[in-house]
Structure 1
């Protein structure tokens, strides 16, 4: 086995050690449980395989993921566009900073009733809730990324007369992309939370709606199985984001590796 393969195996074992220990601890700690609200993990695992079949995945999981990806995409587009404008203008930044700080401090779940007044109770409301909470980390990280562009690079771009869309694409977006991706990673975690919260209000499907229905009908193993499914979806989305980030920021990671070797 080569050194690279050994390193991959070692990292995989380190990443799996704690989850395996936690699952094993949960399994044995609840093996003899008679609590109605804390059933054995074996019962939850059985409920998981029986509950989350293809039909329920199509009816509840896929709609949730569509709302999440739509809201996150809207937030990234608005956050990057707004961050480029605000980060490039001192005057605009000075004018917008106070209201931005005010709006950013408002917890997105508090806005659910307000958004319902304007967007109704359909999918548009849920997407709006997700986008309203996810836009801030993307926006603020983009602003800081644009502000932190190396002055030498700015002067070089000016010397080569890079302007308009080309300047944004070649200089600003590329230089700010590490922080934009950091903001998108934060937005993904916030989006999963808001996806569940938005589906607890006037919904007819989705993971949040289904978990609440299980809780209200005292189907506790099924409720726990939904919580576990949410965790697994979060892990899968995080791994997928890492793959995208590695591809988008390949030049950045290569530069840092070269700097470490030097």
Structure 2
């Protein structure tokens, strides 16, 4: 209802265009979103009566914000995502008005490894010089504080014609969706049991609670200590690894976080750390 209200109140979409039932909103702004003003208060304008229109990040509340070609966005736009990714809301100030909108969304982004797009292709020689330098310079357009808030970083190899001929994977989208729904039910019940009915997922859990519900076993704790030093994890990065590991354990219907859950969670952060060292 809150998402529908955000859409309907300023008249941003018609009733026919609004999400229906349990359909999550999806916002995919293009590269024309070129300044902080255009991504926070929609279209950089307030109404003449001082009433604000929510921007892309608030319209994605309880849904997905998809940014394609991530490094091509203005760095100021990308850094404006840091506040909502941290606390689930965005504050906009214009003249004598200040408005706070809800903005708890899932950020999904895609990018090439470098501006050429072929850095990791076998036998490719980058026209800009050393491949590691080209890759580092391009990916350095994404600031460290923003990267620290991205939990899953996956390198996806190029799809070949042979890949398209292969049979479909053994597990389809419906099966994956069922596992995700089961894990969300586990999380919902967990937080209700400890007196936090407004917390629905591990992503929303306070750090103080996370220390209890995501405490790893002895082997996992040692792995996490070693990785925190090797990867120079920030306090935020440390807690985000725990959130991901707790979610992986929920997907396995496991009460305790094991070493394998932590190893997988850490692997999703390693790619960005490697890029940062190259830059």
TM-score (norm 1): 0.26
Say which structure, 1 or 2, has more relative contact order (CA 8 Å, 6+ apart).
1
Q: Which has the higher helix share?
A: 1
Of structures 1 and 2, the larger Rg is shown by: 1
Q: Which has the higher strand share?
A: 2
TM-score (norm 2): 0.25
